[in-house]
Structure 1
Amino acid sequence: MSNEKHNISVNDYEMNIDLYSILRDISKYIVVILLLAASMSLLAYVYVGRSYHKQYESTSTFIVSSKGSNNSVYSDLSTTTEMATKFSEILNSSILQKKVAKEMNMDYFPGTASAEVVNETNLLVLKVQADSPEMAFSLNKAIMNNYSVVTNQLIGTVVLDVLQNPTVPSGPVNEFQPAALMKKTFVMTIVALCGLIAIISFLKDTVRKPKEVSKKLDGTLLQTLYHERLYKSWKARIHRKKSSVLLTNPGTSFQYVEDMKKLARKVSSKMKDKQAKTLLVASVEENEGKSTVAANLALALAEESEKVLLIDADLRKPSQYKIFGLAPEEVQEFGEVLNGNEKSDHLVHALAKSELLLVTGTMIYPNSTEMIASDMFYKIVDFFKERLDYVIIDTPPMSQAADAEELVDYADASILVVRQHTALVKDINEAISILNSGEGTMLGCVYNDVFHGIAQTARNYGYRYAYGSGSSYGYGYGYGNKYGYGYGYGYGRSSRQSKQEEQKEQHNKDSVTERQVKKEDE
């Protein structure tokens, strides 16, 4: 990569603050987040439940006044406040606690004691807590019997008159509330995990916006393809009915169709300049939309009256038959033909509503790299390369298999599909270097599945397109005894071509008839 692309200023980090990318990362792990939050709630319940001990509180009340004072009980508030502090220190002093323990025939003071002032009064409340209501009451009573021995020596100018004798606790003061605890732990765990994922997402070096492509990547930007909704309505989302993102689908947005056609024109122009006929469509990671881009690019090229063949060479995870809505029994297994287990009589499938031809399969082959590198694969591609305008090859992700690298030197051209905020920049540039290292031309990158915000979405209208009806092709493959493989390939006429030829023939007939009538008149 050039120094200019590495020389990114601090201001460029503003581009990394992308709310959509962060939310998408969080949504990927939402199930894990909820499970961890629920687990932490249960752990918090178990931990606190095991350490929970009921505490009972017995109270008694004193009236605080100064010796020799004739004022009312509410007059000396400052004396009461000062007394509360000193009395608390007395209650927790070793002298008083030893006296209380000795009176109760115990080795230590089994509880806690404190004093509080009743607001805006000279009333002092003594609170004693213990593990049982009987113990709390007994300790409070013992303190009442012995506190005067200590208070007379330390605060002789203050008089404490008992207003209320010790009460017997009716229930624990520290009630265990598991529901509130679990809810709090659940929410805090979710917030913490979402925050952690957001930080990791922010620090992840990916391509978040189209303008970052030229700054971070070694390849040029061919086209930006914006996010296309798989669920066109809430009803479809509820019933989990995804809509295929294809140019032939009337529900596909106008913007996506136009952007794909722009991409097709750019690719076609560049390939014609290079006299290229085979195009490799690759991606770094899985689920970057590579197969969908390959399918729509092939459809767009076929719409321009080009003869196009799309080969699903992703033998590790074939998906083209799903994209085009084909049943497994409708297609012949491409992998079985490559392995020599089946003949290639019906290898090519003519798709309805387009002029596109398809070679695909449904089976998974772990040894796909060896199959792609076989002579049979190259012979099939060479055969169609000579007879068609374009052969588009959909390959497995480059991070998972070396299939694309096997085809780098063979393909005439290649493009790399880069999904928004998915693959790391270093991995993308490494893939671009591999594609550039081959004899073919690396045309550039397709920035895919880009979120364009609510405002832009509102401007996208669901224009519907009417596409030509299906075409019919005939294929035959024969095997020679001496020369190995022989191929027979025959074109059938599409409905559009047939209509054009019928109109031309009718025009010729009309012209002949007119000439004959004119001659007779003469």
Structure 2
Amino acid sequence: MSQEGYKSQSLDSQIDLRYIFRTLKKNAVFILMCVCLTGMFSYVILDHSLKDTYTVSVNLCVIPRDNTSEKLAETNIENALERSVNVLNSDTMRDQIMKASGSSRVKGNLSASVVADTNIIKMSASGTNAESAYKLLKGALQQYPELSDYFESGYVLQPLSSISANNVQKTEKATLRYSLLLILLVLAGGIGATVYLCIFTDKIHSMEQAKRLLDIPMIGSLDHVKKKSGQKALLISDQDTDHVYEEAVDRIVTSIRSEMSAEGYKTLMVGSVKENDGKSTVTANIALNLARRGKKVVLVDCDMRHPSLAKIFDATVDPKEQFSEYLLGKCELDQVLKQTEVQAHPMGCIWQKKAVAKPYRLLGSERFISLIDQLKEQFDYVVMDTPPLELIRDAEIISETADAMLMVMRQDEVHAVAVNDTVDLLEENGVTVIGGVLNMTKGERDTSKDRYGYSKYYKENAKIENAGE
């Protein structure tokens, strides 16, 4: 499906207000920074460019030369007013003033308008200083009689008062008002653009949307859980880990086992499209859950560019006995295959401590393929943590040895089109993508799952385990 197709499906669906709120919260600092910069620069520029305005006015009365009923008729008065205003506002009037003053241009603005429901015209002149405004209006009063041929015949304009420099009104420049207006426009634009992108995006932001847009089944979601004080990693073997998160992992593993058992699969690669999607933590917890169930499971760190499983488990690794050393033929399997206990259940681990340059050469070797075959004979499940599929080809090479693959996607971070393209690539290599997991979710938790008292169960279970130790 094309990018436009995904956007169309997103538009047809219900707008996710929680996603819009999360995105606005995430981009709030950037939007506010743009608003502040706009306010600061616009104020400086406007303060420099805008000037105070000085205005002076005079009222002119349109009266007939004689008092005949025809001249006093309302319709005729209105016509005379309209024509007089047009003349006073015309370029001809400005040309006459320039001609009389001997200047090449008129400094300031001259305007005329009818006072409602009267036969009076208000003529105003404005300029950047009081002198220019006064001179402009004075010139207009002196020169408009020269244009008498343009006015309505039978009528004259009579000033009702003289002009005085004391009548000049000063209007201060509205720098602050215009700056605030620009600030509001930028703020509205930032919020509007964010909402627009949220509505038309194909980024995976909810389970409902993922099920609609992705070509793989979604087998579960994992909440965004903050590690507690002193907690090095979010592992289900740690009693401080949130019980709802632990239960979600258990449901996901149940679905994985069901799919793999039905096809007789033993090797599972866990990967993601992008970096920092939390796949390594998910991989570790899948292996831990399988070990809890009494299954013989081995966890292999195949992400040699950014290995993290040893750090997650706080394992001490001898540099001479890490995974890359085995693939280079510098040590044997019994040296790299370590055993760890998970709540009295053994689990095999193959660690990688240091990053390796160009690991695809090692992962594409016969020694790696032979290793996976040996592990399949010794264990019920081989769980491999693999590099992001969008960036490098390591995972594509690893997929040649895997039976099944689990796709981990961080909420609000990965595009549906990227996930589907990756799935197509894996399936071309003969790997079955058994499902996807939406990771680090906010707003997806179903609190109704606590109604049977699971929290109390997990707390009591943890106390029993501690007492046994």
Per chain length, whose mean CA-contact separation is higher, i.e. which structure has more relative contact order (CA < 8 Å, sep 6+)?
Answer: 2
1:40 touches 1:185 (CA, 8 Å); kept in 2? Answer: yes
- 168-177 or 186-195, which deviates more: 168-177
Q: Deviations over 1:106-162 (max 9, x none)?
A: 234333211245566665432112333212111222222333443587244355243
Whether 1:302 aligns to 2:291 is: yes
> Where does residue 109 of structure 2 map in the other structure?
112
> Where does residue 479 of structure 1 map in the other structure?
none
433, 447, 463: which one pairs with 2:455? 463
203, 207, 223: which one pairs with 1:227? 223
Gaps of 5+ in 1: 2-6, 70-74, 470-494, 501-522
Whether 1:395 aligns to 2:391 is: no
Give the secondary-structure state (helix, strand or coil) at the position aligned to 1:88.
helix
> Where does residue 319 of structure 1 map in the other structure?
308
Whether 1:57 aligns to 2:55 is: yes
> Where does residue 444 of structure 1 map in the other structure?
435
- 137-146 or 97-106, which deviates more: 97-106
Going from structure 1 to structure 2, the CA distance change for 1:103 and 1:443 (only over 3 Å counts) comes to: closer
Report how far residue 281 of structure 1 moved. 0.7
Provide TM-score, normalisation by structure 1.
0.69
Q: Please give the alpha-carbon distance, in whole angstroms, between the structure 2 residues aligned to 1:467 and 1:408.
A: 41
Going from structure 1 to structure 2, the CA distance change for 1:30 and 1:403 (only over 3 Å counts) comes to: farther
- 445-454 or 130-139, which deviates more: 445-454
> Where does residue 510 of structure 1 map in the other structure?
none
1:140 touches 1:166 (CA, 8 Å); kept in 2? Answer: no
Q: Deviations over 1:240-297 (max 9, x none)?
A: x999543245564444322321221232344344444332112222333322321221
Report how far residue 182 of structure 1 moved. 3.3
> Where does residue 276 of structure 2 map in the other structure?
287
Q: Deviations over 1:283-314 (max 9, x none)?
A: 22233332232122112112212343322322
Whether 1:247 aligns to 2:243 is: no
> Where does residue 141 of structure 2 map in the other structure?
144
Describe how 1:327-366 pairs up with structure 2 within 5 A.
330-332=316-318, 334=322, 337-338=325-326, 348=338, 350=340, 355=345, 356-361=347-352, 363-366=354-357
1:112 touches 1:130 (CA, 8 Å); kept in 2? Answer: yes
Amino acid at match of 1:314: D
Going from structure 1 to structure 2, the CA distance change for 1:330 and 1:163 (only over 3 Å counts) comes to: farther
Amino acid at match of 2:101: M
Give the secondary-structure state (helix, strand or coil) at the position aligned to 1:409.
helix
Q: Please give the alpha-carbon distance, in whole angstroms, between the structure 2 residues aligned to 1:169 and 1:376.
A: 98
Give the secondary-structure state (helix, strand or coil) at the position aligned to 2:165.
coil
Going from structure 1 to structure 2, the CA distance change for 1:131 and 1:377 (only over 3 Å counts) comes to: same
Whether 1:257 aligns to 2:246 is: yes
Q: Please give the alpha-carbon distance, in whole angstroms, between the structure 2 residues aligned to 1:79 and 1:166.
A: 32
- 41-50 or 277-286, which deviates more: 41-50
- 303-312 or 456-465, which deviates more: 456-465
When the two chains are superposed, the root-mean-square deviation of aligned CA atoms in Å is 4.6
Going from structure 1 to structure 2, the CA distance change for 1:59 and 1:214 (only over 3 Å counts) comes to: closer
Give the secondary-structure state (helix, strand or coil) at the position aligned to 2:295.
coil
- 256-265 or 349-358, which deviates more: 349-358
- 258-267 or 80-89, which deviates more: 80-89
Report how far residue 47 of structure 1 moved. 5.9
Gaps of 5+ in 2: none
Amino acid at match of 1:350: T
Q: Please give the alpha-carbon distance, in whole angstroms, between the structure 2 residues aligned to 1:442 and 1:107.
A: 81
Identity of aligned residues (%): 23
Describe how 1:15-414 pairs up with structure 2 within 5 A.
15=13, 17-25=15-23, 29-41=27-39, 44-45=42-43, 48=46, 51-62=49-60, 85-118=82-115, 124-151=121-148, 154-155=151-152, 156-158=154-156, 160-167=158-165, 173=171, 175-177=173-175, 179-207=176-204, 209-210=206-207, 216-221=213-218, 223-230=219-226, 245-250=234-239, 252-321=241-310, 323-324=312-313, 326=314, 330-332=316-318, 334=322, 337-338=325-326, 348=338, 350=340, 355=345, 356-361=347-352, 363-374=354-365, 377-378=368-369, 381=372, 384-414=375-405
1:410 touches 1:439 (CA, 8 Å); kept in 2? Answer: no
Provide TM-score, normalisation by structure 2.
0.76
Amino acid at match of 1:166: S
Q: Please give the alpha-carbon distance, in whole angstroms, between the structure 2 residues aligned to 1:321 and 1:77.
A: 96
Report how far residue 59 of structure 1 moved. 2.2
Q: Please give the alpha-carbon distance, in whole angstroms, between the structure 2 residues aligned to 1:83 and 1:322.
A: 92
Going from structure 1 to structure 2, the CA distance change for 1:380 and 1:138 (only over 3 Å counts) comes to: same
1:133 touches 1:168 (CA, 8 Å); kept in 2? Answer: no
Give the secondary-structure state (helix, strand or coil) at the position aligned to 2:400.
coil
Q: Deviations over 1:206-252 (max 9, x none)?
A: 5555455565444334x2214334388xxx9xxxx999543245564
Q: Please give the alpha-carbon distance, in whole angstroms, between the structure 1 residues aligned to 2:307 and 2:169.
A: 68
2:299 touches 2:350 (CA, 8 Å); kept in 1? Answer: yes
1:281 touches 1:392 (CA, 8 Å); kept in 2? Answer: yes
- 422-431 or 456-465, which deviates more: 456-465
Going from structure 1 to structure 2, the CA distance change for 1:458 and 1:319 (only over 3 Å counts) comes to: farther
Report how far residue 401 of structure 1 moved. 1.6
Going from structure 1 to structure 2, the CA distance change for 1:459 and 1:77 (only over 3 Å counts) comes to: farther
Q: Deviations over 1:344-377 (max 9, x none)?
A: 8577473776745544445433413223334555
Residue correspondences, number:
453
Report how far residue 48 of structure 1 moved. 4.7
Report how far residue 393 of structure 1 moved. 0.7
Going from structure 1 to structure 2, the CA distance change for 1:390 and 1:52 (only over 3 Å counts) comes to: same
2:339 touches 2:348 (CA, 8 Å); kept in 1? Answer: yes
